[in-house]
Chain A
């Protein structure tokens, strides 16, 4: 207990304030022993009491701690204070007014999502610019990591274009679903977003530009993986160019014919894909039918399936 006291005294001394160890001790003792407050909570309570007494803002008291600088791909733990040096790759629309900016930032090692709270009162960041994000906190949601910028965080612009690493991942499994929004689609000429029923979420009714893409779900029997195929990859895989797709749709008076062809060529088959991992998707660079010989698998499985029968 006296350990807590000395730490509190030391910290306040750094700020140039003298607090009475006795007073701390009495307060701690009362909270911990008499009112059964857990020590950590008691410590917090005592610190807050003295901060109020001396009119010190909480941020000042807690700020000076330097957090370790890490790489985006090293973030594997929830609730760690870190510093990141990276480029803002993308900014997304915020879902709630409590967030001032959300997006994706990256460094050499990869990318990570970030959320900047409105209450943090931090300056706005711009897409494509690099910053030092000091003292941000990591957070995990359903296995996905992100960092949050709050009022103890700092954003320092840096004059350097940080190369964002594309950590390539490979995945093999069967394609089990092609999602809506695949095939021949139209995009908004302003913001490139896919149109829904001829209208853009942001710009309303617009004359869309045709594009070809596939949003699919792969499954290896253990976990699922969403994949995105852009126009080039889709054209090569399905063997239909954008122009041919347009012709097909015109002839059938229905955009869905393209989707039907895509489904018939992909669903239920095994593929190997590689590409950059973005959020829950893999942005596919290469995709090919899985043609690795199955004999090897058969032999090793047979060996493990027949531990007793040696005569075969």
Chain B
């Protein structure tokens, strides 16, 4: 396949040209990268999408000579006029870091843990540009300011583990940009981050692309990211480029069925989904939580211990057959809420009711019995399944515990029926979980949770560890199963679009406090709290017309805990904050139509919200 849009007049503008690149690992049957051709021009962003294992990252690792020894690489890779393949390590060292910068997916593992950010940043500057130590450090600090790392001077002296995920990714970008490369390769730069951080990092990349006229390669499986940032798009599958072209054209009129499938998996709106059965009116709540407070203790010195609120004054209830989404950034207390609601961690204050009963007053035995009706699906499908048990044993276990009267044959029958229901083939039943894919593991987790026909299913980010196609399949499975069994859903996610599809009501948490609660459609159409609005604006839409403009509007700030408590926790990030926000904690007030919000000013500015 020919790279498109490669015309003579623009030839000199071409930055990176890859032709017929092939990568084969010894012993592997087929080539991991199989004849890939593509090109990136100056000031252009090329989006590269595809499932995991499609050879996206490999293509560029091979182009930079970063593959392990033994891999057979053939083809042509040109950086400007220079042929890159076959260069010596020394020659490559002059290219990598100097002319080409790379941002990896996981900033924690690609930063060296024992060096400060400043040292890691100053090193390539000193090495490639030949500046002195002091000048290099000054420049490094300037870079950290440019990537809008708060308190750049202090960050210079910090180690990677002292920074938050978003700050680390900013530092990583600063390192990649240290020598003003002509080409920046961003390999899944936002996959490990939550919505608002994703939007901020993408906005940052967009800004650098504009200002420095560099080439940008964005490897991702997120069509939203591509829509906002990329000019052209390449779709890869099984080591080959199967479709390429301008972003708008590919997203709007995908030529290949596979591209269409990926786009569908990226989840455009709920038309395809069966509407959830309307919930029974005013039934006794399946789960209710009142004034819940959870604190985390940590050592603040040799003997002093402090605690930090992870969750404060959370009151919410969930009726039979109802679905409630809990959204917010990482660290906002979403997961803590699920664990405290299921009494897996201790709450300092407040009470929890299960099916109208207070487990605090029940015997340990009764509590275990009630757990049958309250099941949990975890974020990490592999880590939450015992590695030494087979798939069949894992799904059989809840039955053995809670329905010990069942004979082995009946149990087997139920287990097999459930496994078939979640779409696992009989060939997999004897396998251990490490032999399964992420999506298959999550199916096992779902089967385990659903086999007892629980009344409440708590899902803690059940999709975020999966790749796009698996996400879609698991999402559909969850929707079907919960409708079939009429189970109540407590669905925790930082993916707002997902919550919107799946849940009737949504609760927004910010730093452990409730900021807004309401029917999902209303809440998304007309957010009452500025934080909710920020979250919604951060959703990356796979729409090449809208997304660039939305990305340009993203404000670059970080969730920060207040040094002194008191007042509204969100005020440091809020554009509408006034004096009263610093003085009083905003009360939790009803805004009519089942909506609740905690903001001093929601009445003042909510009217202006109607315009997008």
Tell me, yes or no, whether A binds B. Answer: no
Spell out A's residues near B (CB within 8 Å). none
